Amino acid sequence: MTPGVGRILTVAAERYPDREAVVDGARRTSYRALDARVNRVARGLRDLGIGRGDHVALLLKNREEHVVVYWACQKLGAVATPLSWRYAEAEVRFCVEDAEAAAVVFEPACGAAALAARPALPGVRAWIHAGAEPPAGSTTLEALAAGDEDPGPPPAVVDESDTSIMLYTSGTTGRPKGVPRSHRAEASAAIAHAVQSRNALGERTLGVMPLYHTMGVRSMIAMAMLSGTLVCLPDWSPAAAARLIQDERITALYLVPTLYHDLVHHERFRETDVSSVRKIGFAGASMTDGGRVLRQWPPPHRGRPAPPQTCDACARHPRQRR
C-alpha cells in the first residue's frame, strides 16, 4: 500500500509535535494532541463498523471537530464527504443517499435538517453528533474521541489511488453532483496550492473558506504539510476576521474577492494591525477591484509594501504580481 493523505498529519506530528495545528476559539490544539485525537476518532469510527471505502458525510462548520473527522477518515481509508451545513432537509437526504454514506456527523446548526432527513436514510449505520446533547439514537463525537492516550493510526489499508474525499457541487443548475478525488490528487493539489501561494513552513492562515469546498480543504491540507496553523472562523464576520488576523498573527489569507471587500471596507479595518499578513490569495472569481482592495492594505503595514497578490481563480492565469 502507498501511504494516503493521512500520513501528512502523522509526519507533521512527528516533525513539530508542539506547534499549534488548529485554533478554534479558546481551543488551541498542538500537532501531537491533534494526531492523538484523530487516531482515537479513527478507532471509534472503526468500532462503529466504518472502514475503507465507506462514505462519512460531514455536516459541520469550520470547527476543530471538522478537521478531526476529516483526518480520521483519511487515516481510516473512509471517504470524507463534506456537505454544506446550510443544506435543507431535502438536500441532506439527497446527498447522503447519493453517496451511500455509512455515517453522518452533524452539529446543532444543521441538526434540524439532519434529523428530518434521518427516517428516509435507513442505510446510514451511525449518526454522530458534534455537540454536548446528542439526539436519541446518536452517539457523540466526544465519545469517540474519549481518552488521553494515542492508540496510533489504524492499520495501513489506504492506497493513494483510493478515494480520499467526495465534494458536492453547488447544485445551482440541478441536483448536486458528487466529485470523488483520490488521495494522490488531493496531496498533489495541496502541494500545488502551497507552491502557487508561496506558503512557507509555519504559515498561519485563516480558516474561512468552507471545508466542504475545495478551497477550504486545500488550505487545511497545506497547513499540515507545512506544520502551519489553521485558525478557524466558523461564521464569516469582517470584524471577527480582522480581530483574528491581528490577535493570531495571520500570515497568509486565502479568500474570495467579496470577503476581501467586506474586510477592507469594514469600519474597524483601519484600526487593526494586519502587518503580519504577507500573502494574499483568492479564488472563485476575478478580483476586478484588486488594486483598490490592496491599496487599503498599506496603512496598517506602517509604510511597508502591500503583500503579494496571488490569483487562483483559474488555471489560465496563475500569476503573482505586486
Q: Do 102 and 238 belong together in one domain?
A: no
Please tell me whether residues 168 and 195 are part of one structural domain. Answer: no
| Residue 60 sits in the same domain as residue 95 | yes
**Cα torsion through 117, 108, 125, 102, rounded to 10:** 80
The answer to whether residue 62 sits within a structural domain is yes
CA–CA separation, 130 vs 181, rounded Å? 25
- 307 and 195 in one domain? yes
Average pLDDT value for residue range 279-289: 80
The predicted-structure confidence for 29-65, as pLDDT tens digits, reads as follows: 999 999 999 999 999 999 999 999 999 999 999 999 9
Q: Find the CATH number of the domain harbouring 62.
A: 3.40.50.980
pLDDT in tens, 98-145: 999 999 999 999 999 999 999 999 999 999 999 888 999 999 999 999
What percent of the chain has pLDDT above 70?
Answer: 89
Edge-to-edge, what's the strand order for the sheet holding 103-106? Answer: 139-140, 126-129, 103-106, 55-59, 79-82, 163-168, 178-182
Tens digits of residue pLDDT in 216-261: 999 999 999 999 999 999 999 999 999 999 999 999 999 988 899 8
Same domain flag for 166 and 203:
no
Residue 316 has a pLDDT of 35
Domain C-terminal end among 156, 182, 208:
182
DSSP 60: -
Domain boundary among 182, 201, 219: 182
Q: Are residues 130 and 191 in the same domain?
A: no
Instruction: Answer whether residue 309 shows pLDDT above 70.
Output: no
- Taking the C-alpha atoms of residue 49 and residue 151, their distance in angstroms, rounded to an integer, is 17
Task: Please indicate, yes or no, whether residues 45 and 101 belong to a single structural domain of this protein.
Answer: yes
Rounded to 5°, the CA angle 12-15-18 comes to 85
Distance (Å, whole) CA 85 – CA 269:
29
Task: Give the cell for residue 220.
Answer: 487545511
pLDDT at 304: 46
Number of domains into which the chain is organized: 2
Q: Going by DSSP bridges, is the β-strand pair 319-321/309-311 parallel, antiparallel, or unpaired?
A: antiparallel
| Whether residue 37 is found in the same domain as residue 150 | yes
Residue 288, pLDDT score: 74
**Is residue 134 located within the same domain as residue 118?**
yes
Q: How far apart are CA 15 and CA 195, in angstroms?
A: 20
Beta pairing class for 55-59 and 27-30: unpaired
**Is the same domain home to 167 and 205?**
no
- Does 10 map to a domain? no
- What is this structure's pTM? 0.90
Domain boundary among 182, 216, 251: 182
The SS3 assignment for 8 reads helix
Give the residue among 230, 228, 224, 234 at the shortest CA–CA distance from 186: 224
Q: Say if 250 falls within a structural domain.
A: yes
Domain span at residue 255 reads 187-321
Report the distance separating Cα 10 and Cα 26, nearest Å.
24
Q: Are residues 178 and 213 in the same domain?
A: no
State residue 172's pLDDT score: 75
Q: Let me know whether 207 and 130 are in one domain.
A: no
Q: What is the pLDDT of residue 282?
A: 85
